[in-house]
Structure 1
Amino acid sequence: MTISLYDATIPTYLQITNACLAQLEKAQAWCTETNTAEQDIVQSRIIEDMYPLAYQIKSVHTHSVGALEGLKQGVFSPNMDEAPGDLAGLKSKLQAAVDYLQNVDKDELNGRVGAPMRFEFKDYNLPFTAETFLFSFSQPNFYFHATTAYDLLRAKGVPVGKLDFLGALQIQQ
């Protein structure tokens, strides 16, 4: 059986993005229950020189929606816009990603297989094909940032566990 580019990306992008959204819902409720300032969560870092939770969530969007938009243009550059500064804004960013991902045209995405793709940042330039860009660059980044966001929430005390990270599994029906 052959698996399509769409099938290898979109379902898991949706699974994990929805899971991140649910984790932020739990974080928001936890902040209210524990009288914790949202900024303590949104700006949390594991170590001083890393980006905060807000950036991690923004990057989940960037390495799903941004990557797919980059495929259409044949070039991807990282989004350097400032991340939303509160949980509501971060949830909105993830909801926008879910809405986008639910409407990706399967044939259009599958039609990009083999198409040239380029990563550009400042003077840095890497050539890919659409699929090697997604599988070796954007998907690993997507999972890195989703995992880091989960780890930050967990480290702050938000009651999330492995099933919260996994979200709704794609079980056979």
Structure 2
Amino acid sequence: MTFSLYDAIIPGNQQIVGAVIGLIEKAEAHCAETDGCTEEDLVQAKLAEDMLPLAFQVKWVTTHSMGAIEGVRQGKFSPDVAPPPATLADLKSGLARTRDELAALTAAEVNGFVGKDMVFAFNEMEIPFTAENFLLSFSQPNFYFHATTAYDILRHRGVKLGKRDFLGQMRVKAG
């Protein structure tokens, strides 16, 4: 069996983006059902004072999935430092857009990135990568970090979540 760059990145991103959409839906329900919990409370919630809030964590799930693919296409990735969406609905909408864009990718395109030069650029810093090393050693770890942190923030704030919510729709053997 051949295992490709597409196989290593895209199905996992699709799975976890879908799971994070589910987390946001559970957060919306939690706000509707819990006295004293506002959507703004959750969107701005942090695990620690020196960490960024839920809104940024969710935004960077999209940034380190489809945003990383766009960076590879352009040959340069710079972090999106614009403010994140301010509502759970807007966060969910961005995730849904990312889910749809990931579904539209072809294996041929993603596998064609192998060996392509690209650079991570932030302020004056530039780090050269090949596309596959950027995706596998930079964006993929960041993607899972931010998805996990979003889960942890919501769980810490009382949203009823379990491990299954984080895993999302697993790709099980058919038949």
Q: Say whether the fold is shared (TM-score over 0.5).
A: yes
- C-alpha distance in 2, partners of 1:104/1:89? 23
- C-alpha distance in 2, partners of 1:162/1:171? 17
Q: Give a deviation string over 1:87-117, Cα, whole Å, max 9, x none.
A: 0010001001101000012211111101111
Secondary structure of residue in 1 paired with 2:128: strand
- C-alpha distance in 2, partners of 1:120/1:87? 29
TM, length-normalised to structure 2: 0.97
Match of 1:52?
53
Q: Give a deviation string over 1:102-136, Cα, whole Å, max 9, x none.
A: 00122111111011111000011111111000110
Match of 1:126?
127
- C-alpha distance in 1, partners of 2:101/2:82? 19
Q: Give a deviation string over 1:60-106, Cα, whole Å, max 9, x none.
A: 00000110001111110001111000100100010011010000122
Secondary structure of residue in 2 paired with 1:49: coil
- C-alpha distance in 1, partners of 2:97/2:52? 22
- The within-5 A match list for 1:58-137 is 58-137=59-138
Match of 2:26?
26
Match of 2:43?
42
Which letter does structure 2 place at the counterpart of 1:66?
G
- C-alpha distance in 1, partners of 2:159/2:116? 42
Match of 1:17?
17
- C-alpha distance in 2, partners of 1:26/1:54? 15
Query: Shift in Å at residue 2 of structure 1?
Result: 2.2
Secondary structure of residue in 2 paired with 1:120: strand
RMSD over aligned Cα atoms: 0.7
Secondary structure of residue in 2 paired with 1:97: helix
- C-alpha distance in 1, partners of 2:109/2:83? 30
Task: Give ranges in structure 1 of 5+ residues lacking alignment.
Answer: none
Task: Give ranges in structure 2 of 5+ residues lacking alignment.
Answer: none
Query: Shift in Å at residue 57 of structure 1?
Result: 0.2
- The within-5 A match list for 1:150-169 is 150-169=151-170
Secondary structure of residue in 2 paired with 1:158: coil
Pairs aligned (count): 173
Moved over 4 A (4+): none
Secondary structure of residue in 1 paired with 2:64: helix
Secondary structure of residue in 1 paired with 2:65: helix
- C-alpha distance in 2, partners of 1:44/1:158? 12
- C-alpha distance in 2, partners of 1:116/1:172? 36
